[in-house]
Amino acid sequence: MSNFVTVSQLVKENNLKVYGGEDLLDKKNITTSDISRPGIELTGYFDYYPSERIQLFGQTESAYSHSMTTNNRYKVMREICRDDTPALLISRNIKPSQELLDAAKENGVPVIGSALPTTRLSSLITEYLDEKLAPRESVHGVLVDVYGIGIMLTGHSGIGKSETALELVKRGHRLIADDRVDIYQQDEKTIVGEAPKILNHLLEIRGIGIIDVMNLFGAGAVRTSSDVQLIINLEDWQADKSYDRLGSMEETRTFFDVGVPQITIPVKVGRNISIIIEVAAMNFRAKKMGFDATKKFEENLGSLIQENGQKNAEDGESK
């Protein structure tokens, strides 16, 4: 988990421009993804001012500030620029007033901007900060994209996760992460996984070593990140263990209070795990679309039992 994002990172990774305080970008830290639009503060009300947030000036805020007198505008901008204020952000390429720049410089607050409309800019920066500041967890496994479904393969070391991922890549699917998957919660329902930077596009195959999947198979064989939509746990086949044969035993694995569906696939000689995973992905997508083969089977079974019951009753009456 990252406790902060520097304003310098924010500027570089979101193509923002700097109007003032360039020497402060590496020193100012952002600790919350919440963004404030100082509307009521421009009238002089600061009793509940969230100064620790990025302060976003859109067309409305800028127009109102320009209607103020020079002295009043400077006084209000000094109140807005506080020690814990990470930055003032201006949308729509609006030129900041000299009073804003002077107050920001005096209080050590960088002034940055963008050509984007205010709402879009607010959404972009919030999503960026949500991702960067989100709690993270490192999971032992392999993450692959199969038919657009993010599948995380888990299981003990040596079970064949990486080899299975390699075969899936050869069959046209995409690798996101091998051996270690860094996951974070994007929203209330979504878990996202990605590879640690040091392992990007790399796959370890015992007996061969580390291979660069993008170099060998092309850019279409990899992805930087993916939603974790399904977990497939690979385990050694045990003759005395009862495995789910109907698909009715639903399991989930929880990350950050978000439950991710999980199925277990037993591994033994003769089973083509890659094809089974492809079918699992298609079946998962079909269920999301409302088609459930298990329910269909149960409905067919119920109809057959009802028909046999009626037939037996008729045969009994005829006797």
Q: What is the DSSP string of 12-41?
A: HHTT-EEEE-GGGTTT-EE--S-EE--SGG
Task: Confirm whether residue 156 is marked as ligand binding.
Answer: yes
Q: What is the DSSP code (8-state) at residue 94?
A: P
Identify the active-site residue in 12, 27, 140, 271: 140
Tokens of 279: 């079918």
Per-residue pLDDT of the chain (319 residues; tens, 9 = 90+): 458 999 999 999 999 999 999 999 999 999 999 999 999 999 999 999 999 999 999 999 999 999 999 999 999 999 999 999 999 999 999 999 999 999 999 999 999 999 999 999 999 999 999 888 988 899 999 999 999 999 999 999 989 999 999 999 999 999 999 999 999 988 888 999 999 989 999 999 988 999 999 999 999 999 999 999 999 999 988 877 776 665 556 789 999 889 999 998 888 877 889 999 999 999 888 888 877 656 665 566 566 666 666 666 666 666 5
Torsion sign, CA atoms 218, 181, 292, 267: positive
Check if the beta carbon of residue 44 is closer than 8 Å to that of residue 64.
no
Q: What pLDDT was estimated at residue 316?
A: 63
Task: Confirm whether residue 204 is marked as ligand binding.
Answer: yes
For 5-133, CATH gives 3.40.1390.20
CA distances from 105 to 27, 175, 253 (A): 14, 47, 50
Task: Confirm whether residue 162 is marked as ligand binding.
Answer: yes
Specify whether 268 is catalytic. Answer: no
Q: What pLDDT was estimated at residue 207?
A: 87
One CATH from 1.10.3720.10, 3.40.80.10, 2.50.20.10, 3.40.50.300 for 136-294 = 3.40.50.300
Identify the active-site residue in 161, 173, 201, 223: 161
Task: Confirm whether residue 157 is marked as ligand binding.
Answer: yes
Identify the active-site residue in 28, 37, 145, 179: 179
Q: Domain-by-domain residue ranges, the chain?
A: 5-133, 136-294
Check if the beta carbon of residue 165 is closer than 8 Å to that of residue 181.
no
Task: Confirm whether residue 159 is marked as ligand binding.
Answer: yes
Q: What pLDDT was estimated at residue 247?
A: 59
Task: Confirm whether residue 161 is marked as ligand binding.
Answer: yes
What torsion do the CA atoms of 257, 253, 285, 268 make, to the nearest 10 degrees? 170
Identify the active-site residue in 47, 189, 197, 245: 245
Specify whether 173 is catalytic. Answer: no
Q: What pLDDT was estimated at residue 15?
A: 95
Q: What pLDDT was estimated at residue 52?
A: 95
Q: What pLDDT was estimated at residue 297?
A: 58
